[in-house]
Amino acid sequence: MREVLHLDNPHPNTYHGVCAAGGRGRAYGGHIAAHAVLAAHRTVDPERAVHSLHGYFLSMGRPDEQVRYEVQTLRDGGTYALRHVTARQRGDELFTLTASFKKVEEAADRHVVMPPAPDPAALPTQSEAANRLWSGIDPASPIRRVVDVRPVLGDADDGGSGAETGGQHRRMWFRIASDMPDDPAVHAAALTYCSDLTVARTAALGHLRATGTTGTPAQNLYLASLDHAIWFHRPCRADDWLLFVHHSPTSGDGRGLTTGQVWTRTGTLVATVNQEVLLRTRRSTTTPEPALVP
């Protein structure tokens, strides 16, 4: 994972990184977002941690090519700091990110209870649900190597909860497969990297059921992330198991929305994720474009 998140810093407030493929021939959006928040983190006081990020995907990136991340300081207050990042490739803007950072404060702490889920050790390392999840990811992408994913069987992929009421619901355990350094900024970036892996598919499944389409989203739909937001509630380690519970309440007008919560194995709520995705049925062509499952 260190190699995946590596950034060069050739000039002040400027970082370079190379992003992996998501769908064939397309850069993985979660990798670009992870690099962007890590670049922003490198420009703030180490005592501050990211507590929220809001990003917009502007154009398709090319995998295995350098991306330039330009960080702009918007605010450095007593507690909060705000940064804006623009990601460019070959001069084209790919992604913009606004990220907010803060110092730790002593305050009352509360959160809702984690929903029930089987322990990840009780789930198979390989399953049809996992194969469907990976179906839109380039087989050569390092995502498959660095992220360990175990979907909870019986959820949306298998015709489970939410389908009959217009929504989609899915639970999935994930972790970075190798040990990581203790740097909280790296763990926040790694969580960002993983957060973009499955939310688009959850929105897409509702669309497939609504239209009566069979097959996987990668086979039938054109998907691309439009925007992505994360609120980091508490620190966590991305190399420990995290439960990602996501729900897609709606799709329509060529878009789908998914919201999710991330929990530690011991039941601590660490993050909330929202994403809107472009969602279109494929046109029949002799040479269809590759699907993008960010």
Give catalytic status of residue 275 as yes or no: yes
- Per the annotation, the verdict on 196 as an active-site residue is yes
Structure tokens at 267: 């039941």
Pick the catalytic residue from 89, 100, 168, 275: 275
Angle between helices 29-41 and 184-195 (to 10 degrees): 160
Residue 145: C-alpha distances to residues 117, 151, 178, 226, 269 (Å):
24, 16, 10, 26, 26
Name the active-site residue from 225, 248, 251, 261: 225
Both structure tokens of 122? 């009780």
225 in active site: yes
Q: Are 67 and 17 in contact (CB under 8 A)?
A: yes
Residue of 196, 239, 251, 261 marked active site: 196
Other C-beta atoms closer than 10 Å to the C-beta of 94 total 23
- Residue positions annotated with a catalytic role: 196, 225, 275
